[in-house]
Amino acid sequence: MLVSLNWLKNYVDLQGSTPEQLADKITKTGIEVESIEYIAKKIVNVVVGYVESCEQHPNADKLNLCQVNVGEETLQIVCGAPNIAQGQKVAVAKPGAVLPGDFKIKQAKLRGVESNGMICSLQELGVEEKYVPKDVADGIFVFPSDAEVGTNVSELLNLEDAILELGLTPNRSDALSMLGVAYEVAAILDVPVQLPDTSMETSPVKANDKVAVQVDAPELNPYYGAFLVENIQVGPSPLWMRNYLMAAGVRPINNVVDITNYVLLEYGQPLHAFDFDKFASNQVVVRRAKKDETMITLDDETRTLTPDQLVITNGSEPTALAGVMGAANSEVSETTTTVLLEAAYFDPKMVRISSKAHGLRSESSVRFEKGVDPNRVHQAGLRACQLLHTYANGTVLSEPAIFDQLDKSEKQVTITTERLNARLGTTLEDNEVSVILKKLGFNYEQKDDAFVVTIPTRRQDIQMFEDMLEEVARIYGYDFLPYTLPQGAAQAGGLTKHQALKRYVKNYFESAGLMEAITYSLTTTERATMLVSPEIEQEAVNPIRLSMPMTEEHSTLRLSILPEMLASLSYNVARKQMNLGYYELGTVFISTEKQVTKQPKEKLRAAAALTGEWLTHPWQQEKKQADFFLIKGILEGLFAKLNVEASFEATKIAGMHPGRTALVKVNDITIGFIGQVHPQLQQSFDLKDTFVFDIDLDYILVHFENEPSFAKIPRFPTVSRDIALEVADEVAAGDIQKTIEDNAGKLLKDVTIFDLYQGEHLEEGKKSIAFRLLYFDPERTLTDDEVETSYQSILHVVKEQHQAVLRG
């Protein structure tokens, strides 16, 4: 809402506040003033001039040579505007004037002829192009003939007006009118509101003799007033009205249209003017549109209607789409002489549906959608008639035709000072509350210790105690509320175990050198099914697609964090940041239904990706590429921290390197995978060797924890034995390790792999793996014989199960 302060002053005394002071007060009290604009500040030396003569320039076809009387002198001015003519009153920038954009006016010679100033267009005076009336858009502005020669144009054109742009929240539609803003400002400044005088002379001829109103859908249209104004002379509206409209961001058109717009802005009540002669009927019938009924609206579009939309008809065909737009068939034009003026209340929801269905949001529909003030509908009709009488020479017929079932009653809300104080934390007294109510302009009755407040219908947002609480608080001033802390019983805040563990996991990844990434949950359909862990693939029927995505790029909910993470790596590599280690903890979305009806399962996953060099040391020439065992080490470190016993099992997963990928299993359940991304997929992301994992963190956090338990510090020495086994290449070290663990007996404390050899000293197709066995008994020192027995039985069983032989 754009509020011209000069216009506002007609209803409320601003008490000499500067625009900035007023804006600050309005903002603090509840309506945010988003900006303060001036059309043109401090224009001097631009005055009204009378064009005494206008002849063609001797040396230029398109220029005119004018003698312009500006009061104390007559200036010769060269003017190129196509609409300049002798006898006009125009805006003359005299030499020395400075126009907006720091444009200085000087004496000059134009094609050999002296020119002492400039005749201005509205644009040159600072009015925005889109608000300039069309008839003067391509030329100079022409004043009405009664403008006084020599007068400063700033005043005449309202150029020094300050315009406040209000950012209205949806509840404050009452401020979608100058009167509504006036009430707000009056409450802030504690001054009265001066309402417009709508008294006028009417004709003894009755409107309701000439036109009848029939409403077939009163639930959508509880009030319809049809006013008739005859003998209209269509022409420009008065300059002051045009100025106000332009300041409010509305382009002036002609007096009839301007007056309906002016009243819309003044009262917040949209009106519609029909050319009664074109209306071609003496009855207004308001009804629901028929299915597939069509009409041509003012913008020359053919609209197909539905029964949840309302139309105004002449009894046979639609003449307006109620609350949204008129029809072309009854549009007011230059030749209109009788105006049928509609002032109506339309159901907000109906207008919302209708304007949305046709993509037509206008100053009118916006106000109807919010619900107009029931007590201002008729008033606005009268005001428009009065203005048509005054500024379009209209004859207003008495007794308009009215259909009225509108509830215009005022709500009552009861408040007590005690309850206000209890909710606000204040110590207000009754008399302070009554002062606030008076400022708001709300009537009230005091009953015992309660105020029974009558809420004016303009404030439809106020329905209950809490709404009044806000009114009192904001007029009292949020700044004056005390600072207190809750009185309720103290509670121990904190993180749940799950939340605390999540932080622990993050800290671990970071200490292991990984950076936390946060990627989008919405991805492409292609990426949503890429690099999905087998256990999720099995459960999720389809990735979940949005019903109306904005872009394909963010159309589908992810089943894996990895694709978007690879995209992040790719983004960095493209910017020459080649060495990357990222992790992310995030949700994936699993639906087990073909057609989604229920909320999907949301699982917390932990994913990581590594590429490039890891731990390089430039001056010692150390360079280590990230590899499978690095990322596996990081994951194993996490498992060790959380007491998770996991196993890794070679597997093949689409998008992953077929020989370098493993399932991650815990308690024999697959909880994720780890490995190198398939070189082809790597290439599609412009990545070199990249290693990833993706695991079910929810499972881990639910089943394990980092709670340490005490184990006695051993009093007896451990005994270690090394064993190097020669086996075929394809035998997995992990399998041998497991065989050893299962068969070595209870004295074996630990088995670790400390060497792997493949090369010239071995037969082709063979490798040698060295294990270190650690024996220990908490109760005594072990004998060599016991260890030897275990050692021999291990040799025996690995030979049997893996054809492994002791390497000589």
Ligand-binding annotation for 55, yes or no, is no
Residue at 640: amino acid letter: A
The residues, any chain, with a CB within 8 Å of residue 488's CB and separated by 6 or more, are none
Q: How far is the CB of 508 from another protein (least distance, A)?
A: 10
Whether 59 contacts 76, CB under 8 Å: no
- The beta-strand segments (E) located in 308-449 are 310-313, 318-321, 325-326, 339-345, 395-398, 401-404, 411-416, 443-447
Q: How far is the CB of 672 from another protein (least distance, A)?
A: 20
The residues, any chain, with a CB within 8 Å of residue 278's CB and separated by 6 or more, are 329, 330, 331
Three-state DSSP string of 39-82: CCCCCCCEEEEEEEEEEECCCCCCCEEEEEECCCCEEEEEECCC
Stretch that binds another protein, among 56-64, 168-176, 447-455, 530-538 (CB under 8 A): 168-176
Name the CA dihedral angle for 528, 530, 534, 540, rounded to a multiple of 10 degrees.
Answer: 20
The residues, any chain, with a CB within 8 Å of residue 807's CB and separated by 6 or more, are 724, 725, 726, 768
Decide whether 442 or 582 has the Cβ nearer to another protein.
582
Residue appearing with tokens 């040391």? 617
Stretch that binds another protein, among 46-54, 113-121, 439-447, 489-497 (CB under 8 A): 489-497
Is 621 a binding residue for another protein by CB under 8 A? The answer is no
Residues 399-428 as x/- pattern, contact with another protein by CB under 8 A: -----------------------xxxxx--
Decide whether 493 or 759 has the Cβ nearer to another protein.
493
Show the tokens assigned to 270: 């949209």
Kindly determine how many residues on this chain lie close enough to bind another protein according to the rule CB under 8 A. Answer: 95
The residues, any chain, with a CB within 8 Å of residue 467's CB and separated by 6 or more, are 413, 461
Decide whether 230 or 363 has the Cβ nearer to another protein.
363
Q: How far is the CB of 545 from another protein (least distance, A)?
A: 8
The packing angle between helices 417-424 and 430-440, to 10°, is: 90
Ligand-binding annotation for 698, yes or no, is no
Residues 507 to 526 in contact with another protein, rule: CB under 8 A: 509-522
Which is it for the CA torsion 229, 231, 236, 240, positive or negative?
negative
Decide whether 597 or 680 has the Cβ nearer to another protein.
597
Residues 588 to 607 in contact with another protein, rule: CB under 8 A: 589, 596-597, 599-600, 602
Is 155 a binding residue for another protein by CB under 8 A? The answer is no
Residues 172-211 as x/- pattern, contact with another protein by CB under 8 A: x---------------------------------------
| Contact with another protein (CB under 8 A) among 431, 490, 711, 780 | 490
Residues 26 to 55 in contact with another protein, rule: CB under 8 A: 27-30, 32
For residue 125, how far is the Cα from the chain centroid? 35
Q: How far is the CB of 615 from another protein (least distance, A)?
A: 6
Residue 629 φ/ψ region, left for φ over 0, alpha for ψ in the -120 to 50 degree band, beta for the rest: alpha
| Contact with another protein (CB under 8 A) among 251, 278, 370, 657 | 370
Residues 345-364 as x/- pattern, contact with another protein by CB under 8 A: ----x--x------------
| Contact with another protein (CB under 8 A) among 499, 592, 667, 718 | 499
Stretch that binds another protein, among 167-175, 195-203, 237-245, 780-788 (CB under 8 A): 167-175
Residues 531 to 550 in contact with another protein, rule: CB under 8 A: 544-550
Ligand-binding annotation for 471, yes or no, is yes
Residues 715 to 754 in contact with another protein, rule: CB under 8 A: none
Burial of 17 (0-12, 13-18, 19+ CB in 10 A): middle
Nearest C-alpha neighbor of 698 from the set 502, 529, 564, 516: 502
- The beta-strand segments (E) located in 276-416 are 283-288, 294-296, 302-304, 310-313, 318-321, 325-326, 339-345, 395-398, 401-404, 411-416
The residues, any chain, with a CB within 8 Å of residue 760's CB and separated by 6 or more, are none
The CA distance from 323 to 360, in Å, is: 10
The CA distance from 148 to 143, in Å, is: 9
Is 711 a binding residue for another protein by CB under 8 A? The answer is no
| Contact with another protein (CB under 8 A) among 123, 171, 395, 542 | 171
Decide whether 88 or 519 has the Cβ nearer to another protein.
519
Is 466 a binding residue for another protein by CB under 8 A? The answer is yes
Q: How far is the CB of 640 from another protein (least distance, A)?
A: 17
Is 456 a binding residue for another protein by CB under 8 A? The answer is no
Decide whether 49 or 270 has the Cβ nearer to another protein.
270
Residues 260 to 279 in contact with another protein, rule: CB under 8 A: none
Stretch that binds another protein, among 96-104, 246-254, 322-330, 460-468 (CB under 8 A): 460-468
Residue appearing with tokens 């509305």? 250
Residue at 718: amino acid letter: T
The CA distance from 530 to 268, in Å, is: 55
Stretch that binds another protein, among 170-178, 379-387, 530-538, 756-764 (CB under 8 A): 170-178
Residues 550 to 589 in contact with another protein, rule: CB under 8 A: 550, 554, 557, 565, 568, 571-572, 575, 577, 580-583, 587, 589
Q: Which residue positions form the known binding site for Mg(2+)?
A: 461, 467, 470-471
